[in-house]
Each structure stands twice: as structure tokens, then as C-alpha cells.
Chain A
Amino acid sequence: MKEHIVTTYDEDLNSLKSNLTKMGLNVEKQIYNAVDLTKIINISKAKEVINNDKEIDALEKKIRGFATITLSKRQPLADDLRQIIISLKISSILERIGDHASNVAGRILSVKKAPDKYITDSIHQLGILVLKNFSTALSAYDQESKKIAQSVPTEDITINSVYETCFREHLHLMMEDRDIIGFCTQMLFIAKELERIGDLSKVISKEVIYNLQGTLK
């Protein structure tokens, strides 16, 4: 990558990228913890996830402010302009993903404890796939790799079908045993949150491709 004549311009763009990567890693940790909660319910950990969401919101505001200043100061064009535009978009997507992770923790708080009769771990497995695909999207951004980015939407198709399977499985569970209907309903909401994170990871990968090739195809 060629450097700008004005070195502070490079510093601005690098700082924007490192802040966004930092935000991404924070969100990744939030998803990791949220997915963990779907296996082992832990009230204090759930509270921690909800609390950490504030940090992510603050990072989004910081990136937005920084991107706005860079736009006005540098009046960027071509790839530089795209890099700033995707920083704005991705930071807002990350913020939403953070909300979904926090929502998972919120559901966990309301169920408190899993019934003994509930033995499936399919939603946890769904969460692992979602976390992995999010990490892939984040690496694609960090490494500016079109190849890595292109693998994300493909994997999301698998995630969607796993989500469908979870849904049907839980319907059966509820039909078989009405005692766990309440819990299963909450778990289905959690599955939906995870599935949304999958969709949003796909949007991130599309932004990365847009940045690299310059068109929204």
C-alpha cells in the first residue's frame, strides 16, 4: 500500500482502522460470552455482557466523530473515501450486533435456570457457527481480503439452515412437554438473535468487498 504524502493522513486512517478493529474484538468477546451463556447459564456473566454493551456504544460514537473529522479535514476520494464510509457503516453494524449479544444475555437473565428436561445443545451449536462466521468477517476487514470476505455469505446459508432446524426441534420439544414451553420460547428468541448476528456478519463482509473493489455488486 502506497503512503500518503501527508503522513498525518495515514495516521488518521490507521487510527480509524485500529479503533474499528478494537470495537470488532470487543463485539467478538460479547458474542463469545453470549454463546457461552446458551450452554451454561450464569447470571453474573449475563449481567456483565449487558453492562459491557455501553463500551461498544461509546466506541461507535468515537469512530463516528473521528470519521466525520477526517472527512472534513482530508476531503478523501476513491479508496480513502470508501475506507471511511465503510468504517461508519461497519461501526454501526457492530453496534447492532452488540445489542443482539446483549439481548441474548437479557433472555438468559429472564429464564434464570434451564429445566432438567431440556437436554439439547443445538442453539449453542448455532451460536458457535455464528461466532466463527463473525470472526471471519472481522478478519476479512482487518486483512482487507476479498477471498475471506466471500466465504462469509456461503457460511451464512449453513447458519440459516441450522437455525431452521433449531426452530423445528424446539417446536417438537414444546409439543412433547408443555412444562418447558416457557423456556423453549426464550431459547427460540435467543436463536433468532444469533441468526441476526449471522446476517449482519454477512453485511460486514459485503462492505469489505465494496471497499476493495469499489462497487456494490
Chain B
Amino acid sequence: MAEKIKISTKKVNVFYGDKKALENINLEIPEKKVTSLIGPSGCGKSTFIRCLNRMNDTIDICRIEGKIIIDNEDIYSKEIDPVLLRAKVGMVFQKPNPFPKSIFENVAYGPRIHGLAKSDDELDELVTQSLVKAGLFQEIKDRIHEPGTSLSGGQQQRLCIARTIAISPQIILMDEPCSALDPIATAVIEELIDELAKNFTIVIVTHSMQQAARVSQQTAFFHMGNLIEVGLTDQIFSTPSQKKTQDYITGKIG
């Protein structure tokens, strides 16, 4: 691909204790594109996505080898502050997890701790803009001080996206963001992903092949800790080059 590479992993191995969860992962993720990671449960795709913002640091037995380069910097080098890294690489999880605070506070939290707004007016504006970008503002503008948990599941997930983009990350990681949502809420999120890809690099883990086919430009297929195949999404879902990929996406016994 001719695009600029935002994230590049080199010979990445991940262990949980003695167990190897990922083996020799070399993957390049282009900037301002959507890359989807697919594969059966336990194949290592979630482990992989969590390496990209060092979420695995919190797991004692987790050990990572190899290099993960974002913008020419190895994110596992000593000079990197994981907190700043996570501001740059935001994450949205499977189940929406708003803080037990108001909608406004959910979004304002990140900018506050990172000191991104100089005044209350500026913070207001930042929160509003984030909610607008997450496609939620119109629906909730009259109840912005109500609890985030009072929203529907799909709205909560968009609130989490608003919270993520409020701190102006460059990369958004999404770990099955629609698996707890109904088809309509899913469609709204997918539409949002399209929109967000104009400004952010997005990496999404999904169990829905059709979703991967719809939202992403690049797809990587993981199987038992290995990266089996990576390519343009259109090619992976029409003419995969590996038998394992073909069997997985068409639902055959592997």
C-alpha cells in the first residue's frame, strides 16, 4: 500500500507466563484507514490490539518481545509514558463502559486530566464538538447533565467514542465495539467509523465478517497466535490467498 504507515509491528511475540499468545507478528497499519482484525476466539487479535496502547502492561504475567513502532517511536521503549501513549491511542471496548457520571463529565474527564482546555467555555466547546463528532449530540443535547448510564446501549457506545476522541487521539482501537448492540445501533456506529477514518487511524477487532468487509480497507486474519494473512479487505473477502482464511470466512470446519 502506498499510504503512510502509522503503526508497524516487527517480530512481535507475546507470552502469558509460559504460554505464547502471539508469534512473530509483522503488521503495518496505514494512517487514516480502517484496519480490521478477524479470527476465531483465542486467536490473539484482542491481545494484539491491547499491545498497541500497552493495555497489557497491567497484566503481570504478560511479556512482550519485538517492536511496535508508532510514528517512528518504539512504544515499549523506556522514554515512553504509557499515560501519554494512551492519550494518543484511544480505545473503545466491547461493552460500553461510561463512567458513573453525567454525559458531560464523561467526555470532559479526559481533557481535564490532560489539561486540554484553558477555560470552562473551551471545555464546553470541546465536549460539544466531541459529541457532535461521535454523532450523539443531536440526540442528547437537552440532557447533557443526565447520567451517561441513562443512555441506550448504542448511545452509550457513542458516548465512549466521544470520550475517546475528546482527547484528540491519533489512533482509535475498537475491540468488538458493536457486539453488544442491535443492528440499527451497529449501523450508526459503522457510519461513524467511516466518518472518523477521515481524521483517525482505526484498528477494529470484529467477529462479524460482514462488518469487517463493510468498514475496513485492510483486513488481517489471525489464527492460533499467528498472522495468517493480511491484505486489502476487498481481496481478503473475495479471493483470500490462504486456505485457512478461506475456511474461516466461509464458516468451514478448520
Mark B215-254 against chain A: 1 for CB-CB distance below 8 A, else 0: 0000000000000000000000111100000110111111
Q: Does B213 contact A (CB under 8 A)?
A: yes
Are B253 and A78 neighbours in the complex by a CB distance under 8 Å? no
Are B252 and A77 neighbours in the complex by a CB distance under 8 Å? no
Are B239 and A77 neighbours in the complex by a CB distance under 8 Å? no
Chain A residue numbers with a CB within 8 Å of B249 are 77-78
CA distance A4 to B249 in the complex (A): 11
Are A5 and B252 neighbours in the complex by a CB distance under 8 Å? yes
CA distance A9 to B253 in the complex (A): 13
Residue of A nearest to B249 (CB): A77
A70 smallest CB distance to B (angstroms): 13
Chain A residue numbers with a CB within 8 Å of B237 are 77-78
Q: Does A44 contact B (CB under 8 A)?
A: no
Q: Does A143 contact B (CB under 8 A)?
A: no
- Given A78-B240, A79-B246, A81-B238, check contact A2 B213 (CB 8 Å): no
Q: Does A214 contact B (CB under 8 A)?
A: yes
Are B209 and A2 neighbours in the complex by a CB distance under 8 Å? no
Chain B residue numbers with a CB within 8 Å of A77 are 209, 213, 237-238, 249-250
Q: Does B138 contact A (CB under 8 A)?
A: no
- Given A78-B238, A78-B246, check contact A4 B252 (CB 8 Å): yes
**B251: contacting residue among A5, A82, A214, CB under 8 A:** A5
CA distance A76 to B252 in the complex (A): 12
CA distance A5 to B209 in the complex (A): 16
A207 smallest CB distance to B (angstroms): 15
Q: Does A155 contact B (CB under 8 A)?
A: no
Chain A residue numbers with a CB within 8 Å of B253 are 2-5
Residue of B nearest to A9 (CB): B251
Q: Does B210 contact A (CB under 8 A)?
A: yes
Are B250 and A80 neighbours in the complex by a CB distance under 8 Å? yes
Tally of contact residues, A, Cβ under 8 A? 16
Residue of B nearest to A214 (CB): B239
Residue of A nearest to B210 (CB): A75
Are A4 and B238 neighbours in the complex by a CB distance under 8 Å? no
Q: Does A215 contact B (CB under 8 A)?
A: yes
Q: Does A6 contact B (CB under 8 A)?
A: yes
Chain B residue numbers with a CB within 8 Å of A3 are 252-253
Chain B residue numbers with a CB within 8 Å of A79 are 246, 250
Mark B113-148 against chain A: 1 for CB-CB distance below 8 A, else 0: 000000000000000000000000000000000000
CA distance A79 to B243 in the complex (A): 11
CA distance A24 to B229 in the complex (A): 38
CA distance A82 to B246 in the complex (A): 13
Mark A1-21 against chain B: 1 for CB-CB distance below 8 A, else 0: 011111001000000000000
Mark B31-49 against chain A: 1 for CB-CB distance below 8 A, else 0: 0000000000000000000
Are B250 and A78 neighbours in the complex by a CB distance under 8 Å? yes
Are B247 and A2 neighbours in the complex by a CB distance under 8 Å? yes
Residue of B nearest to A82 (CB): B238
Chain B residue numbers with a CB within 8 Å of A2 are 247, 252-254
Chain B residue numbers with a CB within 8 Å of A215 are 239
B101 smallest CB distance to A (angstroms): 39
Residue of B nearest to A80 (CB): B250
CA distance A6 to B247 in the complex (A): 13
Mark A85-100 against chain B: 1 for CB-CB distance below 8 A, else 0: 0000000000000000
20 contacts between A and B (CB under 8 A): A2-B252, A2-B253, A2-B254, A3-B252, A3-B253, A4-B250, A5-B251, A5-B253, A6-B251, A75-B209, A75-B210, A77-B209, A77-B213, A77-B238, A78-B249, A79-B246, A81-B238, A82-B238, A214-B238, A215-B239
7 new A-B contacts, CB < 8 A, other than A78-B246, A215-B239, are A2-B254, A3-B252, A3-B253, A5-B252, A77-B209, A78-B240, A214-B239
